[in-house]
Structure 1
Amino acid sequence: MKKHLFLILFTLIFTSIYSQHKIKEAFSEKTIPFVEIYSENGNLIGLSDTNGNISSDLENKIYSSKTKSLTFVNSTYKTTEINIETFKNTPIISLNRIVTELEEVVIKAKPKTYKYLKLKGYFRSIQINEDRPHYFIDGIVEYYISLKSDKIKMKIICYRSFENKSISQLSKNFYFMVAGVPIFNHFTKYKNLTNEYNLKPENNENILVFDKKENIEKGKITKSNSNSNLQLEIISKTNPKIMKLFGMESDFNNYTINTIYNNDDPAKMNFENIIYFKEIRSYDIKRQKKNEFQKVEATHEFFLLEKEYTDEIKSKEFDSPYTFKRPSDFENNYWENVDNEYFQSIPKSLEKYIKENLILIEK
């Protein structure tokens, strides 16, 4: 009798944490971690967990948002949009994997004894404040990475900047802005990853990533199409990073990265093999004397276009990461010609919101 009561209690607890929804790869039993879920208004409602589950808390947020449609986004799968009624009646959400051709990015010099690795690519970043897109910036950027120290310098070549002027910052004197060009996280290198995490092979295609201290699953390495894909939750709501500075308090409660490499050997996950990088950040911020927090979310992406080894850096001036530059500075429609196999347009709902509510900051 006690055993049956325990099983019933365990089931109730489990179902209270997880909804009946799970996200999987189409025609497969593979679950998809860290899938972004957007509403019809373009706001990021939340992410699936490391096993592709949609938590009951996230499901409640979806229903309370009163959105009529949902868009599911993951870098290695085709962006998928469904209406809310379909979501209610479909426990398994299926996404189609992006099928890529086996071709490499053109390298302009062979790696011998060069000083720097130069990565040129398209970047885009959006910041969402209180469920409304506030800033959007995209452009072409060049990274110069020291092959000796791994130190990174970056130069933005051209860019567009958009702002939603109907959204207010914390005050006239307190700004919280993280939209801009990302810097590659040091865990994108295999050596650094294995210093902090344990890697446990699940099968021939997947390697699970566990936190060494608490032995909690934090991500996954997937091998497919001769590429490797690292998806990793570095900061979570269960272990947020609290920062207090200059009269502001920031609760950094989600930091997830998604990196794709043009090599299926995890040991070769490094800056030289990166072809795509994305990070998702989530904060709750407030002025310390205020009681209410403001939710801020941001995504940053980089799509590799060219890779080159060089002994010199032509640029003398460099830009800072996560900086929203203004006014816009561009001459051609670079965003229409992003030659990267993993490039997809932003969700239509987000694109529509930007077009209707954000203004291009011009000279």
Structure 2
Amino acid sequence: MEKEGLPALGWAARDTSGHLSPYSFSRRVQEDDDVTIKVLFCGICHTDLHIAKNDWGNTLYPVVPGHEIVGVVTDIGRGVDGFKIGETVGVGYFVGSCRTCISCSKGYENYCAKLELTSNGVGRDGENTRGGFSDVLVVNQDYVLRVPDTVPMDGAAPLLCAGVTVYTPMMRHGLNAPGKHLGVVGLGGLGHLAIKFGKAFGMTVTVISSSPAKRQEALDRLGADAFLLSSDPEEMKAAAGTMDGIIDTVSAGHPIVPLLDVLSPMGQIVLVGGPSEPLELPAYAIVPGGKGIVGNLVGSIRDCQAMLDFAGKHGITADVEVVKMDYVNTAVQRLQRNDVRYRFVIDVAGSQL
């Protein structure tokens, strides 16, 4: 007799309006290598907005968003040896990969062509995946993360996407050494965490923003060493050639050449915000100084666990505004206006689903 799936309650968008409302569905049956998780907190990412409204043309309605998930283990399969019931765990951007491609074999499963997304993907059972705007998950143990006790659970949730998205390229491109100079473009959900990781690495951190109103926030509250107004040609000229690398978190279109000018020779800009507009990149901006532009998509499971452990050791947590699920549509509207400092997190367990 075929087992029935695990009943689940969540909030889903059903059309391009992106409006979320209560939704009942079933999780797949727990298998031997699976962990069942009660969702406690889930961050709201800009990706969730795009998916809910089908901005990228690939939404599988009805869609339950959410991929910054912290919860507690409530059950484990017979083959699970890395987790125990009652343990605090996390789930990030993806919950599966092919395990056999070049990317997977090198430990970069986040670049697998068959990546199984936590939300709005296709799972191992052929059903659409549904994310953390819900009360329960069933996840293969190899894609579950341990959350250190030293990191508050609500503040840990955004680390599983925003945190690893900035931490991974800093590690990969040598932007983690004391004394180096890091530029952070944009002061939002990703940017404020890039500052925190950069300072924990012992780097000099300069925030680059087009908004002069963010100067004091960057310097006084978040601890950046300097602030550079990108709309001020004189400030930008004075900073020419001073930065070892830049983490660019801005998702809206913006000029890239002025940012390349502030890099020192051999420096790199890492794009993590992903503007939809094409970049205008004349050769003279990169060839003479040997400069480069690279991209980054979240991080591998190995990267994410290392990031969480580092965050736990150094007391790094996201700055969050915790809301209940019935506030989610208002939170989404505010997020579209950048009216949050710096990440909304849903108290899923404390909400009436």
TM tier, shorter chain? Answer: under 0.3
TM-score scaled by structure 2?
0.24
Greater helix content: 2
Greater strand content: 1
